[in-house]
């Protein structure tokens, strides 16, 4: 009896599962998010494999995972390499000056789509590696929801359970697929440049964007990696996802209705305690001591400062020059800064900056950023006031999302050539203490979240591993027609009944009136 009990205890506790995190290597922030998922599961005692087929070679030697040791790579084909190059060295420079909303971004999305499809072909041509992976008998696969080559992979490896995830804050297509209520009138898609207060044209844009994208891009066809290579009906499989993980945080994002299936783990990659314990090296520390205030300026790793229009560089320089008591650390990727800012003392140009360590340092006063989600999460958790200057993709929405908390200011990329507007933004963020106070308040809320993103993710991943697909979480609303879902049939019938009743009442009233008047005449 006692032995049984001990055995039970033993097996009860040692419920370790096998997870596959599938993360094609093409973007830094994306790999960081999925590596954190892998490491969190490893740290919780599970067997995790991080499968990261190369697309963009320059990231190949970066170790994204820390505690997860089972990292499997795969070489790209020539074609895939080319797509990777197009994508990473890309045509992004034009977005310094051009509109990048959903309709403009379609050519870029097409390249991404081709790249993901080619990724599928590469896996099919490398079944040797897949056969090795198959031996690990995975319980669950976790992958970026819009990289559909994960579905033939899951099929080949015979993985029963899957968790599509997105490294952005909100993906309307995924929401629709799993039957989550979407509210285009008040919740913007990750590619919409709006916040939560939308004008009539913005609401129309927001509502028609997903169907328009569907129409322009279409749904990719993926075939099984096994003969006879039948096509896989991905659309019918997606709703069977046990959970979906989103890189949004309910305390930062716009409030919206979700499903039990939707697990918001935004901020999971930010370990604020670890960041605060990082020490800046002597050189950087000295730079922070130079003046009473210091501001970090970085436009991220997709659009480079060196490529911005010359007019913008001059305007930024002129604005910075006005703040003699502020040191500006400007991430600038080559030596051409000499052409416009030679001899200006309070600007420190650097090809690389220790961004998180700087943000975690109390001596840094503010941050001018492109509002990539990684930076947004970091500065939210570390409580820094910021100027948000979004350029493309989800950055416009990210900026609106954070500005709502009153700890930051949005500066349009079209105003980057206007020195006066930049000066006003600098003046406010550096000297109006309300921004710092509100930024700190948000950071404190995030520090005290009832359930931490990491714990939330691990618990749900374990639940999925134990119970597999969860049809009980699949809402019936998904199968309803538009007319049923929005009660349009009920409204139509109610209207007809109402009109009929009004009609009958007026008729009766008229008859009654006629009768009394006829009576009146006779008398
Ligand atoms: C996890 O990996 C270890 C070492 O490879 C292995 O002994 C163990 O059986 C694995 N666990 C499961 C649940 O497969
Ligand atoms: C990665 O590292 C290996 C060995 O250290 C080296 O041979 C290779 O050229 C590196 N690749 C890239 C893309 O830097
Ligand atoms: C810079 O700081 C000094 C000393 O704190 C002060 O006297 C001066 O007015 C400041 N200059 C500007 C431009 O704010
Ligand atoms: C931000 O400021 C506005 C206007 O003062 C206020 O209505 C709103 O509640 C504030 N938001 C937060 C999150 O503090």
Query: What is the structure's pLDDT at 3?
Result: 53
**Is residue 4 domain-resident?**
no
Alpha carbon nearest to ligand 2 atom 3, residue: 61
Cβ neighbours of 6 (radius 10 Å): 10
258 and 392 in a single domain? The answer is no
Q: Which residue has the CA at smallest separation from atom 1 of ligand 4?
A: 406
CA dihedral 300, 304, 308, 312 (to 10 degrees): 40
SS3 (DSSP) at 219: coil
The reply to whether ligand 3 has any atom less than 6 angstroms from the CB of 197 is: no
Position 521 confidence tier, pLDDT thresholds 50, 70, 90: low
What residue owns the CA closest to ligand 3's atom 3?
325
Give residue 114 CA to ligand 2 midpoint distance, Å: 26
Maximum Cα–Cα distance across the chain: 111
Q: Which of 287, 253, 293 is nearest to 432 (CA)?
A: 293
Pick from 107, 111, 64: which is nearest to 88 by CA? 111
Nearest to 31 by CA among 52, 58, 48: 52
Lowest mean pLDDT among 99-113, 147-161, 406-420, 501-515: 99-113
405 lines ligand 4 (CB under 6 A): yes
Strand 70-72 with 222-223, pairing: unpaired
Query: What's the distance, CA 264 to chain centroid?
Result: 11
Q: Band of the pLDDT at 285, cuts 50, 70, 90?
A: very high
285 and 322 inside one domain: yes
| 245 plus 308 within the same structural domain | no
- Whether 303 and 401 map to the same domain: the answer is yes
Q: How far is the CA of 41 from the centre of ligand 1 (A)?
A: 14
Asked if the model's pLDDT at residue 9 lies above 50, the reply is: no
- Nearest listed ligand to the Cα of residue 70: 1
The confidence band for 519, taking pLDDT boundaries of 50, 70 and 90, is: low
Could you tell me the two tokens for 390? 């979004």
**The two three-digit tokens of residue 323, written as one number:** 């703040």
CB of 165 within 8 A of CB of 147?
Answer: no
pLDDT at 14 over 60: no
Tokens 């008859």 sit on residue: 511
Ligand 1 site, CB within 6 A: 16, 18, 47
Position 94 scores a pLDDT of 79
In angstroms, the Cα distances linking 149 to 32, 85, 118, 126, 210 are: 20, 20, 9, 14, 21
Atom of ligand 1 nearest to the CA of 137: 14
The average pLDDT across 112-125 equals 93
Residues, the chain: 523
Q: Is 161 exposed, middle or buried (0-12, 13-18, 19+ CB in 10 A)?
A: buried
| The predicted structure's pLDDT at residue 405 | 97
Judge whether 119 lies within some domain. Answer: yes
Q: Which ligand does the CA of 135 lie closest to?
A: 1
Residue 515, pLDDT score: 82
Report percent pLDDT > 70 for the chain. 95
* Residue nearest atom 13 in ligand 4 by C-alpha distance: 405
Q: Is residue 522 part of a domain?
A: no
Q: Is the pLDDT of residue 502 over 90?
A: yes
Q: How far is the CA of 12 from the centre of ligand 1 (A)?
A: 16
Among protein residues, the one with the nearest Cα to ligand 4's atom 2 is 406
Residue span of the structural domain in which 179 resides? 17-269+452-476
Is 11 within a domain?
no
Q: For residue 280, is it within any domain?
A: yes
Q: Given this model, what pLDDT does residue 2 score?
A: 55
**What is residue 55's predicted lDDT score, i.e. its pLDDT?**
94
> What is the domain-level CATH number for residue 400?
3.40.50.2000
Domain shared by 265 and 341, yes or no: no
Residues 39 and 161 in one domain: yes
CB distance 81 to ligand 2 below 6 Å: no
Q: Give the separation between CA 14 and CA 16, rounded to whole angstroms.
A: 6
User: Is there a single domain that holds both residue 325 and residue 355?
Assistant: yes
CB 52 within 8 A of CB 24: yes
Task: Find out whether 388 and 428 touch, Cβ atoms under 8 Å.
Answer: no
Probe ligand 4: pick from 250, 253, 406, max atoms within 8 Å of CB? 406
CA of 54 to the centre of ligand 2 (A): 13
> The tokens of 347 are what?
């600007």
Residues of 396-421 as b/e, b for ≥16 C-beta within 10 angstroms?
A: bbbbbbbbbbebbbbbebebbbbbeb
Residue 457 and residue 504 in one domain: no
Which is nearest to 152 in space by CA: 22, 276, 337?
A: 22
Residue 210 lies in a domain: yes
Average pLDDT, integer, range 395-421: 96
pLDDT of residue 518: 64
Pocket flag, ligand 3, residue 325 (CB < 6 Å): yes
- Phi, psi values for residue 382, rounded to 5°: -95, 0
CA 133 to ligand 1 centroid distance, Å? 13
pLDDT digits (tens, 9 = 90+) for 298-327: 998 888 899 999 999 999 999 999 999 999
Residue 443 has a pLDDT of 96
**Residue with CA at minimum distance from ligand 3 atom 2:** 325
Are 24 and 155 contained in the same domain? yes
User: Per-residue pLDDT for 11 more than 70?
Assistant: no
Together in a domain, 429 and 490: no
Ligand 2 mean position to 149 CA, how many Å? Answer: 27
Does the beta carbon of 137 sit less than 6 angstroms from any atom of ligand 2?
no
* Predicted confidence (pLDDT) per residue in 173-190, tens digit: 899 999 999 999 999 888
Average confidence score pLDDT of the chain: 91
Which pLDDT belongs to residue 274?
A: 84
3-class secondary-structure state, position 56:
coil
- CA distances in angstroms from 241 to 260, 372, 451, 468, 503, listed in the order given: 12, 27, 22, 9, 51
Distance between CA 57 and CA 319 in Å, rounded? 38
pLDDT of 248-270, one tens digit each?
Answer: 999 999 999 999 999 999 999 88
As for how many domains the chain has, the answer is: 3
Pocket perturbation via mutation, ligand 1, pick of 47, 132, 133, 139 by most ligand atoms within 8 A of CB: 47
Domain presence at residue 521: no
Tens-place pLDDT, residues 431-457: 999 999 999 999 999 999 999 999 999
Instruction: Indicate whether 104 and 225 sit together in one domain.
Output: yes
Any domain includes 9: no
pLDDT tens string 42-92: 999 999 999 999 999 889 999 999 999 999 999 999 999 998 888 776 667
Element (H, E) at 70: strand 70-72
**pTM of the entire structure?**
0.90
24 and 162 belong to one structural domain: yes
Is the pLDDT reported for residue 113 higher than 70? yes
Counting from 1 in the atom list of ligand 2, the atom nearest the Cα of 57 is: 13
Is the CB of 445 inside a 6 Å radius of any atom of ligand 4? no
Question: What's the Rg (C-alpha) of the chain?
Answer: 28
Residue 89: the pLDDT is 67
């Amino acid at each position: 009896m006692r032995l049984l009990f001990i055995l039970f205890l033993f097996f009860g506790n040692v419920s370790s599962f096998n997870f596959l995190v599938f993360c094609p290597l093409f973007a830094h922030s994306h790999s960081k998010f999925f590596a954190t998922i892998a490491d969190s599961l490893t740290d919780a005692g599970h067997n995790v494999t991080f499968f990261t087929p190369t697309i963009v070679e320059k990231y190949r030697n970066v170790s994204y995972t820390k505690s997860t040791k089972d990292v499997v790579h795969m070489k790209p084909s020539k074609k895939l390499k080319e797509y990777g190059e197009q994508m990473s060295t890309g045509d992004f420079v034009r977005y310094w000056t051009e509109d990048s909303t959903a309709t403009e971004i379609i050519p870029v999305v097409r390249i991404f789509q081709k790249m993901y499809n080619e990724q599928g072909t590469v896996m099919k041509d490398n079944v040797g590696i897949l056969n090795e992976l198959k031996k690990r008998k995975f319980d669950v696969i976790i992958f970026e929801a819009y990289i559909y080559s994960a579905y033939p992979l899951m099929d080949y490896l015979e993985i029963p359970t899957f968790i599509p995830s997105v490294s952005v804050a909100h993906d309307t297509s995924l929401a629709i697929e799993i039957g989550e209520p979407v509210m285009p009138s008040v919740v913007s898609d990750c590619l919409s440049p709006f916040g939560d207060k939308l004008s009539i044209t913005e609401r129309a844009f927001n509502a028609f964007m997903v169907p328009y994208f569907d129409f322009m891009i279409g749904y990719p066809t993926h075939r099984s990696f096994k003969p006879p290579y039948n096509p896989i009906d991905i659309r019918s499989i997606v709703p069977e996802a046990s959970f979906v993980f989103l890189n949004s945080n309910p305390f930062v994002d716009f409030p919206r209705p979700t499903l039990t299936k939707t697990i918001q783990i935004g901020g999971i990659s930010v370990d604020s305690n670890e960041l605060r314990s990082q020490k800046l090296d002597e050189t950087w520390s000295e730079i922070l001591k130079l003046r009473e205030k210091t501001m970090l300026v970085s436009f991220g790793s997709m659009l480079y400062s060196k490529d911005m229009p010359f007019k913008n560089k001059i305007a930024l320089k002129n604005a910075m020059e006005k703040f003699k008591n502020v040191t500006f650390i400007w991430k600038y990727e080559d030596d051409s800064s000499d052409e416009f800012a030679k001899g200006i003392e309070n600007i420190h140009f650097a090809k690389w900056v220790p961004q998180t360590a700087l943000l975690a340092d109390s001596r840094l006063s503010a941050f001018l950023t492109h509002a990539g989600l990684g930076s947004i999460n970091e500065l939210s958790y570390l409580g820094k006031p910021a100027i948000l200057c979004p350029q493309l993709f989800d950055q416009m929405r990210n900026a609106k999302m954070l500005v709502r908390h009153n700890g930051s200011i949005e500066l349009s990329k079209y105003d980057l050539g206007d020195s006066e507007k930049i000066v006003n933004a600098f003046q406010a963020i550096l000297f109006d203490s309300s921004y710092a106070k509100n930024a700190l308040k948000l950071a404190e809320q995030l520090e005290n979240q009832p359930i931490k993103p990491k714990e939330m993710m691990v618990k749900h991943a374990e639940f999925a591993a134990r119970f597999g697909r969860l049809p009980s979480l699949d809402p019936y609303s998904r199968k309803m027609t538009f007319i049923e879902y929005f009660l349009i049939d009920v409204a139509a019938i109610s209207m007809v009944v109402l009109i009929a009743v009004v009609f009958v009442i007026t008729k009766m009233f008229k008859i009654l009136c006629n009768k009394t008047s006829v009576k009146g005449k006779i008398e």
